[in-house]
Amino acid sequence: MADILIRKDRRAGRITFSRPQALNALNHDMALAINAALKAWQDDPEVALVIIDAEGERAFCAGGDIAALYHAARAGDHQVGRVFFRDEYRMNARIAEYPKPITAFMQGFVMGGGVGVGGNASHRIVGATTQIAMPETGIGMIPDVGGSWILAHAPGRAGEYLGLTGARMGPGDAIWAGFADSYIPESEWPALIGLLAETGDVARINGQPHPGAPLAAMDLSAFSGATVAEIIAALEAAGDEAALKPLRRASPLSMAATLELVRAARGDVSIRDSLAREMRFTARTTEFGDFLEGVRAQIIDKDRNPQWRADASPAHVAWMLASLGKDEITWEDE
């Protein structure tokens, strides 16, 4: 398909995002294609490892292609979004649990759905242009695609900070926070991809000392608050306007749910537990959350002025994260 190139190259399975004009945004067909390719290669003796990269300099994958979900939900069809999220999360789980090495070369913007692909790989390579973020609270969503699992394992309170504010991480911060593994100058990526395809040996990845991690020096103690209100009060007391600004713009429901998701994921046994909990929110968000208003403001009308109306009470947050019963996500391998 035109949006993604899937092929075998010597000892490697190759997946390349090929819609740079759309910042390689991930759509439903692309998610299905990635999952099918990985399933086919899992027991293929010719494939020793998988390489995921992207065309264009601006983005590895700047997120999910969510306009179709918006338009379907506005027309009253909320199932389009639910099916997309289910299939995307199954693909995310397959990447995270894959029995062969998966190397992801992540340049430029890596956000949302891009983190779900690259951030769940076993060998995650970043360069000088890399900017990684989970900015979902700004569009009435939550850090999904396994994002709550990755955030939960970040040092200290970095998970809460990154999940609530959607702050961007350069290569050093991304490695420190657990979203990436190796810093390699992007000029060296083509040769390394060729070497990996030729040898099938991830030991040939030799990361260099990465740039500093400013995030590691930040005082994130305010994000230990029990609620979003407590976190905001602590930031106001500290006069931390930089952190307060995104919190004042984000969906209150999304922030409250994100706080619950990140903290709950710290007790999860596997990424599947975190993905299942994320699915409970995303399955309901087009109908009972702020997602449609967030997408309208940021992507459709682009007025950047969302009018959040969803209930952000503890009871509604608990309901948004409650079991879906017979509609709970299932996994192909069960």
Contact 196/202 with Cβ under 8 angstroms? yes
Report pLDDT digits (tens) over 289-304. Answer: 999 999 999 999 999 9
Task: Give me the domains of the chain, ranges plus CATH numbers.
Answer: 4-327 (3.90.226.10)
Mean pLDDT of 192-200: 98
Find the catalytic residue in 65, 136, 181, 290: 136
Averaged pLDDT for residues 229-253: 97
Angstrom distance (rounded) from CA 36 to CA 55: 21
CB atoms within 10 A of CB 288: 16
Does the global pTM surpass 0.85?
yes
Q: Would you say 53 and 105 are in contact if contact means Cβ atoms under 8 Å apart?
A: yes
Q: Give the closest residue to 45 by CA, choosing from 88, 11, 73.
A: 11
Grade residue 211 by pLDDT with cuts at 50, 70 and 90: confident
The pLDDT of 60-82, averaged and rounded, is 93
Q: Beta partners for 71?
A: none
- Answer yes or no: is pLDDT of 68 > 80: yes
The confidence band for 334, taking pLDDT boundaries of 50, 70 and 90, is very low
Q: Per residue in 1-12, pLDDT tens?
A: 789 999 999 999
Q: Is 113 an annotated catalytic residue?
A: yes
HSE at residue 46, side-chain half, CA atoms within 13 A, is 8
- Beta-ladder partners of 106: 126
**Can you tell me the mean pLDDT for 118-146?**
97
Handedness of CA 80, 85, 86, 90 (dihedral sign): positive
Q: What sections of the chain are H helices per DSSP? A: 28-41, 67-74, 79-97, 113-114, 147-152, 158-165, 171-177, 189-199, 228-238, 241-249, 252-265, 271-288, 291-295, 314-320
**β-pairing verdict for 123-126 and 102-106:** parallel
**Residue range 94-106: average pLDDT?**
98
Active site residue 236: no
Active-site residue, 87 included: no
Kindly indicate the confidence band of residue 333, based on its pLDDT and cuts at 50, 70 and 90: low
The catalytically annotated residue of 63, 108, 113, 163 is 113
Query: How high is the pLDDT of residue 209?
Result: 72
| Known catalytic residue at 327 | no
Contact between 34 and 91 under an 8 Å Cβ cutoff? The reply is: yes
Over range 139-162, report the average pLDDT: 97
pLDDT band at 38 (very low <50, low <70, confident <90, very high): very high
Mean per-residue pLDDT over the chain, rounded: 96
**Long-range contacts of residues 108-111, Cβ cutoff 8 Å, at least 24 apart:** 108/23, 108/56, 108/57, 108/58, 108/59, 108/60, 108/62, 109/23, 109/58, 109/59, 109/60, 109/61, 109/62, 109/133, 110/59, 110/60, 110/61, 110/62, 111/61, 111/62, 111/63, 111/135
Rounded CA-CA distance 103/313 in Å is: 41
User: Confidence class of residue 327 from pLDDT cuts 50, 70 and 90?
Assistant: very high
From the candidates 13, 64, 119, 163, which is the catalytic residue?
64
Q: Which two tokens stand for residue 73?
A: 């939900």
